Amino acid sequence: MSTATAAEAFAPITGDPGALRAAAATFTDHADTLSRTSSRLVGASTVAGWSGQAATAHGAMTLDTSGKASRAATACEATAHDLTVAARLLEQAQDRMRSLAVQADATDRDLSAAQGRSAMAAAVLDPAAAATADGDVQHATARLQHLRREAEGLRATCEADLRRCANLIDDSADHLRSITPPAPSAGTVDTDVPWWEQALSAAAAVASLPVLNTVHTWDVLTGVAEHYRDDPGELLDLLAHSSELLGGMTLMLGGGALFLGGVGADITGVGAVVGVPANAAGAAVAVGGAGITAAGGAGLAGDFSTLDRSLKDRQADPGWQGRPGNNDGSTPATPAGGRPYDPKIADDVPPWGTKDPKTRGTLVTGDGTRRVVQDRASGIDPTVEAIARPRPGMNGRLKTHVEAQAAAEMRASGTREATLYINRLPCTGAKGGCEDFLPRMVPKGSKLTVYGPDGYARVVVGEG
């Protein structure tokens, strides 16, 4: 057996049992939190003195979410158990593979020696010695084949077990995402009145009632509402990917609040062996207070009312879509009039979805200066705001995208020519996306060369 063959057949099984155990502990914490939340939501499903359409909607949604939280807890418990078992099996498999590699190396030396004795016996015409040496060759060959089969079976079993864990993680993610349902259908809620506004108005009317607890998260809720009001498509894109982190999502439950803060488990032990991205959705769930003041609830109701309409508009425009690309490794060709493609700069841009679903990029100005740009999580750069306002038809969400950030940098610095490397294709849509609005974003007369995944290349001459 050659050194190359041995290295391939008995290569160490990669993966980190410690990472799997840490992930198991995370899922155990999630399960405990979800179980407690499920019980608390049952008690919060009715509010003394509150009746009517919004109260019915609140009760239906709270009980429904309680059941989903309970099922998510069960899924997280199962995932934690299997991750613990997988960590132990991975550790054992790694130890056994190391032992097999040592045995294979010794057997390979025995085989080489036997082959040498066989050749020497044949050269001196010693049939007896040749027969003995040939027997040793056959024995060593059979031994190596046995060791190789065991190594192959060990690797296959280990990878299958870790793939199963990855599937369990996805299953837990599905349950966790189910905690973010649409507006409730129970009762006779007037569909012409935004759900959020109706529920919050009713909650404000009974603000003096001591329900749930006194923990307030309105500042957090308002920030999330403001961000997703401008960019609701990002929220829906986030929920569409089971292997992405579920973070920053907030639900108002009538008079209560369910705050989901994403806590991801990066299962490096799975990804290293199987090659499957296994960032698991996490959930730190806490029930917020219902005793809001009428004044405090009014602005928030408006925020969520706008968010509700924006989400409906987003769902009604199926043509708009973020386009992650397939990362097929194709190298873009330099477009006519564009700046040359630099693979080193492109490689420095993290692939989309590795840690979060944000679009990221690197802007290179004419003098070679580089600046990292990404979708903004909250707040709008004043320069970007100035770009968007005078251009009717540009959806508010586009102001937060990487393309707008790059254009803002060009405008602020007076750059006349730049190159943008992005990890996601510019969005499109029936009402226009970045692909359509790029010329209006870029300063008039300036030139921006854009390179993206799947060989995407484009030169944009500014009209803004």
Domain limits, the chain: 343-461
pLDDT digits (tens, 9 = 90+) for 337-363: 888 888 888 888 877 654 555 678 888
Helix (H) or strand (E) holding 147: helix 127-177
Q: Return the sign of the alpha-carbon dihedral for residues 267, 268, 271, 273.
A: negative
Of 81-85, 240-244, 406-410, 457-461, give the range with the top mean pLDDT: 457-461
Residue by residue, what is the 3-state secondary structure of 43-110? HCCCCCCCCCHHHHHHHHHHHHHHHHHHHHHHHHHHHHHHHHHHHHHHHHHHHHHHHHHHHHHHHHHH
Least confident among 87-96, 411-420, 431-440: 431-440
Question: CA-to-CA distance for 1 and 112, rounded, in angstroms?
Answer: 9
* Contact predicate 462/448, CB 8 Å: yes
- List Cα–Cα distances, 18 to 35, 98, 164, 283, in angstroms: 26, 18, 18, 21
> Mean pLDDT across the stretch 73-88?
84
* Per-residue confidence (pLDDT) for residue 142, from 0 to 100: 94
Query: Domain 343-461 adopts which CATH fold?
Result: Cytidine Deaminase; domain 2 (3.40.140)
Q: Is the pLDDT of residue 259 over 60?
A: no
> Mean pLDDT across the stretch 104-113?
92
* Per-residue confidence (pLDDT) for residue 365, from 0 to 100: 86
Q: What angle do CA 218, 355, 68 make, to 5 degrees?
A: 55
Structure token pair of residue 171: 């299953």
* Per-residue confidence (pLDDT) for residue 271, from 0 to 100: 29
The overall pTM is greater than 0.95: no
Better-scored residue on pLDDT, 44 or 60: 60
Name the E strands within 219-283.
249-253, 256-261, 265-266, 279-280
Q: Taking all residues of the chain, what is their mean pLDDT, rounded to a whole number?
A: 63
Structure token pair of residue 260: 């989901």
Among candidates 154, 369, 180, 187, which has minimal Cα distance to 259? 180
- What pLDDT band is residue 190 in, cutting at 50, 70 and 90? very low
- pLDDT above 90 coverage of the chain, percent: 12
* Contact predicate 55/202, CB 8 Å: yes
* Per-residue confidence (pLDDT) for residue 252, from 0 to 100: 26
Of 150-164, 280-294, 343-357, give the range with the top mean pLDDT: 150-164
Better-scored residue on pLDDT, 125 or 244: 125
